[in-house]
Structure 1
Amino acid sequence: MLLRSLDAIAVARGDDLPDAVRIGDTTLSRSDILGAAGALAKRIGGAERVAVLATPTASTVIAVVGCLLAGVTVVPVPPDAGSAELDHILRDSGAQAWLGAAPDGTDLPVVPVRLHTRDWHSHPEPPPSSIAFVLYTSGTTGPPKGVLLSRGAIAAGLDALADAWKWTANDTLVHGLPLFHVHGLILGLLGPLRVGSRLIHTVRPTPAAYAQANGSLYFGVPTVWSRVVEDEVSAKALSGARLLVSGSAPLPVPVFERLADLTGLVPIERYGMSETMITVSTRVGGEHRPGWVGLPVAGVETRLIDEDGTPVPHDGESIGELQVRGPMLFDGYLGRPDATAASWTEDGWFKTGDVAVIDEHGFHRIVGRESTDLIKSGGYRIGAGEVETSLLGHPAVREVAVVGVPDDDLGQRLVAYVVGDVPSPEDLIEHVVAELSAHKRPREIRVVDSLPRNALGKVQKNKLG
């Protein structure tokens, strides 16, 4: 059973948890979740895919669990998605309806999510091979692709993390991460419902909210932890926790060290993608090194390959493309057989597109992206090409190149180099916000006379930023 803690028979026998999930001002017991999600599952049974506007609310929790009970695939949609991004996700996914809240002007039917309705009929567990989620990528090399994640892959991924982090039903997980990607949704919501631990979702991941939650296990992206260490009182309040986990982007070494100094806890770093979930992590009780993400989790194999397809030695210095295989990998890209085939080697390894080094003890360090077009800002993975396409749709823009530049708070911030008669940088930023998610907006517009290009006309982004 994917969500083991929501076993209907066990809950009926009294194995309830009155504060299983607290999200904002709403607290849900296991029976609250099971009853409301059961009522929703009864109404949506037979649907294939539905969209959920993934706001940090109890309605989102019930919508996701209701779909999992009914065997209906969930398409999580960022609440701040712009019109172009939203249209693409809905069209590409084939979502048949919205569950709960829906954007204004939607053409899809809306199925309400009622928190106080109850239905206790049992639902047959769908097979492990059935697709639970279609998660959309950042659109690095074009429109975002729908990643197909099966129930079996999710279960394998969560069990591997429970093993690596000694995550048990005695834990209380605290985070305030978005509920439309692997970190906040799969790990941060389904993880507690599988392991049986409590979840406190703070809606916003502020240092004060984290300090007040009194949890044992905390999730955050580097931006969250950089803000925590700037608030010494809040940081020291986390010293009673068992584990602080950082992911979605590299944790700057100064933040790692300051967090350890203030809390007495050495952060856990890990590595994964939408397509793979978490495949590499440092361990509870194991070695922790700033800038290194640790060892493959249970069931995962990794290797480094150079440009010629030759294995790269594990010497802690030689760089190669990181390839992985394991039971938590995705089932392909929705409707994209060519892209799916291109992402795998002939001998069955997934090509991550990231470059890394591995030392003689198997410890991994992620060096960066093979291309320069993946920007990690505030914990988000943002495709430069998607933002460039949006900017080129503005009549004042003739040429554009988007890069990520180092930022103490965000990790990287988006800077757009623009050629054109730009009346106001704010106009361009607002243009992007209207089309894409707000976190994909450029933080700065730099108007230039020309972009540096090589002999083939390709923009040389290494000369920008």
Structure 2
Amino acid sequence: MLLASLNPSIVAGGHDVADAVRIDGATLSRSDLVGAATAVAERIAGAGRVAVLATPTAATVLAITGCLIAGVPVVPVPADVGAAERRHILTDSGARAWLGEVPAEPEGLPHVPVRLHARSWHRYAEPSPDATALVMYTSGTTGPPKGVLISRRAIAADVDALAAAWAWTPDDTLVHGLPLFHVHGLILGLLGSLRIGNRFVHTGKPTPAAYAEAAGSLYFGVPTVWSRVAGDVDAALALSSARLLVSGSAALPVPVFDELVRLTGHAPVERYGSTESLITLSTLVDGERRPGWVGLPLDGVRTRLTDDDGAAVPHDGETIGRLEVQGPMLFDGYLNRPDATAEVLGADGWYRTGDVAVIDGDGMHRIVGRESVDLIKSGGYRIGAGEIETVLLGHPGVDEVAVVGVPDTDLGQRIVAFVVGSGSPQELIDHVAQQLSAHKRPREVRIVDALPRNAMGKVMKRELAT
């Protein structure tokens, strides 16, 4: 059963939890979740795909849970998405209705409200593990967002593998303040909690004070969240009583990692994944946690690195290759896009991630970045932008940085660093040259007021590289 902790027989057997979910000022017991979500299921059973405006509210929790109970695929829609992108998501997904909250422009779809106090105890048969649970849309950095088909089996496999890697149990209280339309916040945070049976607390905004007040044992955050926690001594000290701090969705700067260790006593767990693959790599609760490295393959996962010709790349911790993964948590393809699916998902079951990485002799993985923008070919060398960014972020005069390769008639590509901060360009170039090989130093550092970002907060390197 995908939502194992919500099995009605478990709740009926006296294993209820009064505060299974706390979100947006509401507290739901496990029986509240079962009864209210089943009431939602009765209203939308057989409806085909439905759109859920994924705000961090109890209505969103019940809407998504009700769909999973009824076997209706959910299309999570970001609350702050632009009108054109929202229209594309609704049209491409074929969503038949809005469930729960509705945006100001519903695009002509009917609205099915979620009644927080409604209850039903109807028993639904468990849908097939191969049935689609979610259609999650990519951020659209290389074109219109693509609908990623994620099965119930993939979610269950991923959560179970993470539970083994992190010793995640029903005794945990999981805390985060992340969006409920991403893998990190929705699948790992909410659905993971409903499968494992732990208490789940959503803080709303992921502020250091809110994290400290939640008194959890397991915390999820993106690097920006952890940077703010590391900058708030009182909040960081409060998190020292936690069991595990998990960082993902982007590389955690080494200075932030080190400061969290100093203040909380915890070396953060870092992990790697994508909408298409869910989480496939992680450092382990009882293993090495090396700053800048995302760990080992989870149970059931295999990885490989290839060069431009498809040949295997050595696992020496230095040689960069294209990362491919295989495992039970992979997606089933892109909705309505067999061409795009074939480009990244081979008939042999290997997913071409589009990321480049290195693997050392112990199997530890370090993500260099996206092949399209983070792999720089300069003077005959293959250089990872992420490695240079990590070194620059360790300089006190650097607040934010993006490293790109720009066309160069002599080198092929020239390494250029765009920096937000107070450091001088020559000082920063010399800093990299002291830490890394000479060919990895930026040929140019440009001090800027801000880095261009998309609606999801990701740096748009293509704009910088032109």
TM-score tier by shorter-chain length is 0.7 to 0.9
Preserved contact between residue 356 and residue 370 of structure 2 (Cα < 8 Å): yes
- 2:138 aligned residue: 137
Q: Are residues 315 and 290 of structure 1, via their aligned partners in 2, closer, same or farther at CA, if it must alter by over 3 Å?
A: same
Quote how far apart the aligned CAs of 1:169 are: 0.4
Quote how far apart the aligned CAs of 1:13 are: 1.8
Amino acid at match of 1:92: D
- 1:365 aligned residue: 366
Amino acid at match of 1:338: D
Preserved contact between residue 171 and residue 215 of structure 1 (Cα < 8 Å): yes
Q: Are residues 70 and 206 of structure 1, via their aligned partners in 2, closer, same or farther at CA, if it must alter by over 3 Å?
A: same
1:339 alignment partner, SS class: helix
Deviation track 1:321-373 (CA, whole Å, cap 9, x = no partner) reads 00000000000000000110111235331000000000000000000101128
Quote how far apart the aligned CAs of 1:442 are: 8.3
- 2:310 aligned residue: 309
Instruction: Tell me the distance in 2 between the aligned counterparts of 1:369 and 1:56.
Output: 30
- 1:400 aligned residue: none
- 2:257 aligned residue: 256
Instruction: Tell me the distance in 2 between the aligned counterparts of 1:116 and 1:460.
Output: 49
- 2:11 aligned residue: 11
Could you say what the CA RMSD is over the residues aligned between the two structures, in angstroms?
2.4
Amino acid at match of 1:56: P
TM-score scaled by structure 1? 0.83
- 1:347 aligned residue: 348
Instruction: Tell me the distance in 2 between the aligned counterparts of 1:261 and 1:88.
Output: 46
Structure 2 gap ranges (5+):
376-384, 387-415, 422-447
Instruction: Tell me the distance in 1 between the aligned counterparts of 2:348 and 2:153.
Output: 22
Quote how far apart the aligned CAs of 1:11 are: 0.6
Amino acid at match of 1:185: L
1:333 aligns with 2:316: no
Amino acid at match of 2:366: R
Instruction: Tell me the distance in 1 between the aligned counterparts of 2:54 and 2:245.
Output: 24
Structure 1 segment 414-429 matched on structure 2, within 5 A: 415=451
Instruction: Tell me the distance in 2 between the aligned counterparts of 1:227 and 1:256.
Output: 12
Quote how far apart the aligned CAs of 1:12 are: 1.2
1:98 aligns with 2:98: yes
Quote how far apart the aligned CAs of 1:437 are: 4.0
Relative contact order (alpha carbons < 8 A, sep ≥ 6): 1 or 2 greater?
A: 1
Preserved contact between residue 139 and residue 456 of structure 2 (Cα < 8 Å): no
Quote how far apart the aligned CAs of 1:205 are: 0.4
Instruction: Tell me the distance in 2 between the aligned counterparts of 1:19 and 1:35.
Output: 15
Preserved contact between residue 414 and residue 442 of structure 1 (Cα < 8 Å): no
Quote how far apart the aligned CAs of 1:140 are: 2.2
Structure 1 segment 54-69 matched on structure 2, within 5 A: 54-69=54-69
Deviation track 1:81-128 (CA, whole Å, cap 9, x = no partner) reads 111111111111110000011111321000000010000011110000
Instruction: Tell me the distance in 1 between the aligned counterparts of 2:3 and 2:418.
Output: 41
Quote how far apart the aligned CAs of 1:413 are: 9.6
- 2:357 aligned residue: 356
- 1:121 aligned residue: 122
Deviation track 1:135-192 (CA, whole Å, cap 9, x = no partner) reads 0001122101000000000000000000000000000000000000100000000011
- 2:276 aligned residue: 275
Deviation track 1:45-84 (CA, whole Å, cap 9, x = no partner) reads 1111000000000000000000000000000000001111
- 1:108 aligned residue: 109
Q: Are residues 341 and 404 of structure 1, via their aligned partners in 2, closer, same or farther at CA, if it must alter by over 3 Å?
A: farther
- 1:158 aligned residue: 159
Q: Are residues 3 and 414 of structure 1, via their aligned partners in 2, closer, same or farther at CA, if it must alter by over 3 Å?
A: farther
2:227 alignment partner, SS class: helix
Quote how far apart the aligned CAs of 1:214 are: 0.6
1:139 alignment partner, SS class: coil
Amino acid at match of 1:195: I
Preserved contact between residue 413 and residue 442 of structure 1 (Cα < 8 Å): no
Preserved contact between residue 56 and residue 180 of structure 2 (Cα < 8 Å): yes
Instruction: Tell me the distance in 2 between the aligned counterparts of 1:319 and 1:373.
Output: 11
Preserved contact between residue 333 and residue 345 of structure 2 (Cα < 8 Å): no
Structure 1 gap ranges (5+):
377-402, 417-428, 430-435, 444-458
2:372 alignment partner, SS class: coil
Deviation track 1:200-246 (CA, whole Å, cap 9, x = no partner) reads 10011000000011100000000000000110000000000000000
1:37 alignment partner, SS class: helix
Quote how far apart the aligned CAs of 1:289 are: 0.5
Structure 1 segment 59-458 matched on structure 2, within 5 A: 59-106=59-106, 107-372=108-373, 405=418, 415=451, 437=455, 439=457
1:308 alignment partner, SS class: coil
Preserved contact between residue 270 and residue 294 of structure 1 (Cα < 8 Å): yes
Preserved contact between residue 138 and residue 147 of structure 2 (Cα < 8 Å): yes
- 2:436 aligned residue: none
Instruction: Tell me the distance in 1 between the aligned counterparts of 2:66 and 2:19.
Output: 19
Instruction: Tell me the distance in 2 between the aligned counterparts of 1:111 and 1:354.
Output: 40
Q: Are residues 26 and 460 of structure 1, via their aligned partners in 2, closer, same or farther at CA, if it must alter by over 3 Å?
A: closer
1:11 alignment partner, SS class: helix
2:123 alignment partner, SS class: coil
Q: Are residues 319 and 440 of structure 1, via their aligned partners in 2, closer, same or farther at CA, if it must alter by over 3 Å?
A: closer
